[in-house]
Amino acid sequence: MSRVGKHTVVIPASVTMSQERDVFFFKGKLGESCISVPDCVNVCVNEHGLDVRPNDETSFARAMWGTVQRNLTNAIKGVSDGFCVTLDLVGVGYKALVNGQTLILQLGFSHDVEYLIPEGVLIKCEKPTQISITSNSKQLTGSIAARLRSYRPPEPYKGKGVIRAGEFVVRKEGKKK
C-alpha cells in the first residue's frame, strides 16, 4: 500500500480549485497551476480535500497513486506558499548580480556567465555570494537551481563552487609529500 498516496490532500482556504474531466486547476496568491491525472488513478473531491485512489491493482496504477498525490500537494503548496532554493557561491571572486531579466554570474571563468531568467521565476541576490530562486513550481525551481549549479559544481579539494544551502560537500585530502 502506498504510504504517500493514502493521505488526503488538504486544500487551504486561500486556494480555489476547479476541475475539468481529469485536469485540476488551482489558483492562489502566487499564481495558477494545473495537474493532469492519468486514467489509472481516481481523484475524489470531498469536504476535507482530495482523496486519490488507484483504479486497479497493477503496479503502474499503484506507482502513479503516490505520484499524483504528491503532484497535487506540490501544486497546492506552490500557489499558496511557493518554493524557494538558496544557492551559495563559494570561491574567491565568485559573485552574482541580477540585471533586469538576466542573472550575471562571475565564477572564475575568463567571461561572465549570463542566465536569462524564465517567466514566473523570481531570482534575488541579497548578498553577492547568495542566490535565492523562488517560483510556484517545484520542478521549475529545482531545474533552475541544478542548471546554475552545473556551471561550477562544488569540487572536493577546496570546496569551491555553487552549493545549495545546507548541502554538505565531502572534502578530500590533497597530495602528500
- Give Dmax (Cα) for the chain: 70
Spell out the domain ranges in the chain: 9-80, 83-164
- Quote the CA–CA distance of 151 and 131 in Å, as a whole number: 14
- Quote the CA–CA distance of 170 and 129 in Å, as a whole number: 21
pLDDT attached to residue 50:
92
Homologous superfamily, domain 83-164:
Ribosomal protein L6 (3.90.930.12)
Burial 139-155 (b: 16+ CB within 10 A, else e): ebbeebbeebbeebebe
pLDDT tens track of the chain, all 177 residues?
568 888 999 999 999 999 998 899 999 999 999 999 999 999 999 888 999 999 988 999 998 999 999 999 999 999 999 999 999 999 999 999 999 999 999 999 999 999 999 999 999 999 999 999 999 999 999 999 999 999 999 999 998 999 999 888 889 988 887
CB 159, CB 171: distance < 8 Å? yes
Asked whether this chain's domains 9-80 and 83-164 adopt the same fold, the reply is yes
- Please give the model's pTM, rounded to 2 decimal places: 0.87
